[in-house]
Structure formats: structure tokens, C-alpha cells
Amino acid sequence: MKYLDEIPIIGIIRGAETKAVEGAIAAALRGGLRTLEITLNRPEACDQIAGIQAGFAGEVGLGAGTVLDAASAERAIAAGAEVIVTPALLLVVFEFCKSRSVPVFPGAMTPTEVLAAHRAGAYMVKVFPGSSLGPGHIKSLKGPFPEIRLMPTGGVTVEMTPAYFQAGAEAIGVGSELFKKEWLDQKNWTAIEEKAREYLQAVKETR
């Protein structure tokens, strides 16, 4: 996926109103991020994806998250999503995305789930929820599965970011720690930009 190898952070905007999404995306980009995800837990999420692609063409790698079925994946891809992210291992989503040559980042936690996701064709496995078992879980998974690309997501703070990469993570997914609800509600784009810079710096220092 473009940008992710260079800047291994996906910023996740969950449930934001459309009027806040453009400002949040612009702030994250100013902060140095290049890969963003819009979760599909609002009816207008696909419209938001289309709007981002129209307004920030060539500036952002864009994914759709919380994709639970093939129909949702189809709508998201039609709107412009370049990657599909799921909270669990959903083979029907894999099958559809393979037919469209769209990469999938499935959610998984246990060794069995992680291996199954990899064998199903995951571009990268989203270890979710990441904060439940922390960096030690990533390190443990990398023992038997050094070839599987892992992206802890959920509760990944700036302070913990170095530990995740030191444990073997290839990327991190960051949601409410970056796009705080109060910042979105107050249109505090400066706070989002600064937090994005903090995450980017933490990654640079580790790598």
C-alpha cells in the first residue's frame, strides 16, 4: 500500500461527522501522516471516503475500516477505498477483495487467527485490540511467525509506539488517541496535527 512502508502509521477516523472529516484529514497530513482510514460505522462513511479522494487526490492512501461483509467492501471500494480493514477474520470479505485486487488488513488476536489471516492472503494482519496484550504479544507472535506483517491497533499510545516496533510490528493503527472526540467536536486541528507529529517522531526514533 502506498505510503505505508515509508510512514508505517494508519490514522483511523471513527464515527466523525462529515463536516469534521476534511479538517481532521488535512491536520493529519500536515502532521506528516499519509495513510488514513474511515470506519464504516456511519451511514455517510462511503460519501466521506469519496470526498477525501476528491479533495486530497494523490496526497493520501485511504482505507475503509470496520468492514463486516462483502456488500460493505464493495461500496467502500466504489467510493475510493484502496484497502479494506476488518475487525475480525471474515473470509467472505477476503474473497470479494481478491476479485477486485484490493488488499485486506484483517483483525486477529490469537496465533491461530493470525496464521489463518496470513494464509487467507492478508496484506498485513491487524492485531486487535492491541492494548489488551501489548507489545509482548507482538514479540511472542513474531517468534513462530517472523514472516507475517503485524499492525497492532487499539490503544496504541505515543509512549508505547517504540515498544511495539521494537517487538516487531511493521505498522501501527491509531484511532481515538489521535482523533480525540473533543478535538473533532471543537475543530481543534492544531491538536491533531501536533499529535500526528508526535507519533511520527516516535516511529522515526525507533526505526
Q: Confirm whether 4 is domain-assigned.
A: no
pLDDT of residue 58: 87
pLDDT of residue 2: 78
pLDDT of residue 22: 94
Torsion of CA 68, 72, 73, 79, to 10 degrees: -140
On whether the CB atoms of residues 169 and 148 are closer than 8 A, the answer is no
Cell digits for 23? 479538517
Look at residue 35 and tell me whether its pLDDT is greater than 80: yes
Q: Confirm whether 29 is domain-assigned.
A: yes
Instruction: Please count the residues of the chain.
Output: 207
Residue 62 DSSP SS3: strand
Q: Confirm whether 134 is domain-assigned.
A: no
Task: Identify the band that residue 183 occupies on the pLDDT scale cut at 50, 70 and 90.
Answer: very high
Q: Confirm whether 176 is domain-assigned.
A: yes
What total number of domains does the chain contain? 1
Q: Confirm whether 38 is domain-assigned.
A: yes
CA–CA distance from 81 to each of 67, 103, 161, 192, 206 (Å)? 11, 10, 26, 22, 29
Percent of the chain scoring above 70 in pLDDT: 100
Q: Confirm whether 123 is domain-assigned.
A: no
Average pLDDT of the segment spanning 46-50: 97
Look at residue 207 and tell me whether its pLDDT is greater than 80: no
Q: Confirm whether 69 is domain-assigned.
A: yes
How does pLDDT run across 100-157, given as a tens digit for each residue?
999 999 999 999 999 999 999 999 999 998 888 999 999 999 999 999 999 999 999 9
CB atoms under 10 Å from CB of 98, counted, come to: 13
Q: Confirm whether 49 is domain-assigned.
A: yes
Task: Identify the band that residue 57 occupies on the pLDDT scale cut at 50, 70 and 90.
Answer: confident
Residue 153 DSSP SS3: strand
CA–CA distance from 56 to each of 5, 25, 34, 60, 91 (Å)? 20, 9, 11, 7, 31
Local structure of residue 82 (DSSP, 8 states): S
The CATH number of the domain holding residue 43 is 3.20.20.70
Domain that holds residue 199: 9-104+157-162+171-206
